[in-house]
Structures are given as C-alpha cells and as structure tokens.
Chains A and B, each alone.
Chain A
Amino acid sequence: TQLLEQSPQFLSIQEGENLTVYCNSSSVFSSLQWYRQEPGEGPVLLVTVVTGGEVKKLKRLTFQFGDARKDSSLHITAAQPGDTGLYLCAGESNSGYALNFGKGTSLLVTP
C-alpha cells in the first residue's frame, strides 16, 4: 500500500491567517488529488496535480506537487470560516482502480 502522511493532523486558526498543510509519501504517484470534506458529507474534489513541480491555484488555495511526485502541499491565503473542513490528499493505487487517502488535516477557522 502506498501510504500518504498528512500534517498537521489538526489546525485551528483565526480568520485572515495563512496556512499550509502537507501530504508526503515515500512512493511516486502519477497524480495526487486534494479533497475537502465537511461533516456529514462525502469528499469533494478540489484539484488534481499531475506534473512534478506543478502549481495550481483555486481562488485563495494554492496547490503544489513536488518535483519527484512524492509530496504535495496546500496553501490557503487569508483563511475564512467557510474553509473549515477536513482536507484529504489521495493518490491512485497501483491497480489504478482505487484511491489511497491520507488521514486528513482537520482545519477550523474561527471568526
């Protein structure tokens, strides 16, 4: 199994602060995905990064894929309460049919 380690596990910040969460593995992935999951809901795809070194921006969220395609980061600028949720990274398994998920980073943004 290709393990994905996410850090930090929990993060509590105030509105307006910046933050970065990390997703690391010893395995190479063809792509990595980031999801956000809110309580009582399923994960919702935010972005897929494919190319080593790739940077993608989604409004205040910036995603980066490591050059070696083993790690990724998510940076949020000027966090808002609506950003609260569980952020999960995932990569395709060797079979290609399944996603291996990290345990997630639980983010709480308070007003």
Chain B
Amino acid sequence: GAGVSQTPSNKVTEKGKYVELRCDPISGHTALYWYRQSLGQGPEFLIYFQGTGAADDSGLPNDRFFAVRPEGSVSTLKIQRTERGDSAVYLCASSLSATVTEAFFGQGTRLTVV
C-alpha cells in the first residue's frame, strides 16, 4: 500500500484478555517502530525492528508486551493480560533505512481496556 497500515483501527477488550495489533509497513521499508500515545501525551517509543530482529526493545513497559516481525515486513504487537492502564493509541512507523527521522506513521490502533 501507499502508507503504513494498522489494523484494527479500534479495539475494545476486557481486562485480562490478550490482544494483537498489526502493522503493515510501507513496502521495502526495513525499519519498523512501535510507539504508544496516551491521552494528552506525545508518542512514547516501545520497540524498533531492523529487518526481522528487534534491535531495541528498551521501551516495552514490561514482559506482558511483546512484538514480532517474522518475515521482515508485517509486525504484530502482542499484549498479554491487558490492564486498564494499557489503554492508548498504538502507533506504528516505518522507514527505508535505520533513519528514524525519516519514518512515516500509520493512523494508529486505539486500544481500550474495560
């Protein structure tokens, strides 16, 4: 596609459930980033992939969060045992090279944990 695509656009889940959020980067982009944006805040870095490997996962808040990118394209952010505090917009971005200042963002997935 022309841009970064994220699905679903909205996800409502019950506390304690497992969720998966998908990101389709721009074709050919080797770098992929996940950010989380809470209400009234700027995006916060979660994890960075270069190809298939997670080059930097220092932003993941705890071990309930995990992300994969098995074929170096689509990425899935997985959250186990969701908590109300996980409610936020999860943004994905991709860039042609490992130049984060040239990344393009998707529209985000709004996750609501009830």
Chain A interface (Cβ within 8 Å of chain B)? 4, 31, 33, 40-45, 48, 88, 90, 92-93, 95-104
Contact = CB atoms under 8 A, between A and B. Distances in A.
A96 to B, nearest CB: 7
A97 B56 contact: yes
A104 B9 CA distance: 22
Interface string B88-107: 00010100001011011111
A43 B20 CA distance: 22
Contacts, number: 59
Nearest to B45: A98
A101 B105 contact: no
24 contacts: A40-B9, A40-B108, A42-B4, A42-B91, A42-B107, A43-B43, A48-B101, A88-B43, A92-B100, A92-B101, A96-B98, A96-B100, A97-B48, A97-B56, A98-B33, A98-B48, A98-B56, A99-B45, A100-B45, A101-B42, A101-B43, A102-B42, A103-B42, A104-B41
Contacts of B105: 42-44
Interface centre among A41, A42, A44, A95 (most CB of B within 10 A): A42
Interface of B: 4, 9, 33, 40-45, 48, 55-56, 58-59, 91, 93, 98, 100-101, 103-108
A83 B44 CA distance: 24
Contacts of A41: 107-108
A31 B105 CA distance: 19
